Structure 1
């Protein structure tokens, strides 16, 4: 009789490894995450992000409205000069917007709809 073959499945794992439903590496990684203080992220804007991503553009009026409403570049970036010298430079703050990527994606969808489906010239919307 092979003792190692018989006893290995019946050995109790250490207390830091969960044996039910997880393999050893999952138990270890969970413990490391817990030790490092990684908390589940709160995502209060996740439904809004998902809604913006799932929104389909099927109306030319809506597409034109979105292209006019959403700027092509961040409108808040400014360089303030006085007598030819730069006093202050305000960086583009749009990246601080938590739904910036989704809004820009929505504008891109509207531009693609106008160009591909409607066959419209979109150059007036590209220069803001």
Structure 2
């Protein structure tokens, strides 16, 4: 939530002079992705529910789970798609991949909708 607040503040600071110069700024397509989500953390789950209430359709329905698989891949400057499956526990890898596929599928659906497909 802190990083989202910082992002929104920065975005406002960037857009202010753009709008002042007379340019039209359209943010209708912006969506926020909750990352490093731990579904068993009740306060975090409540905050995500609050964000959904507050921002509605501007928050993606799916969250990217907090995962050691993604952290471990990042250490070697790789994505989870690039890392060797046997470099980590199979269930950890599959859980992270499932979350990635769901989130990426939602983003792809939004892109297709924007393209009119």
**TM-score bucket (shorter structure):** under 0.3
Bigger Rg, which one:
1
Q: TM-score, structure 1 length as denominator?
A: 0.24
What is the TM-score when the length of structure 2 is the normalising length? 0.25
More strand by share: 1
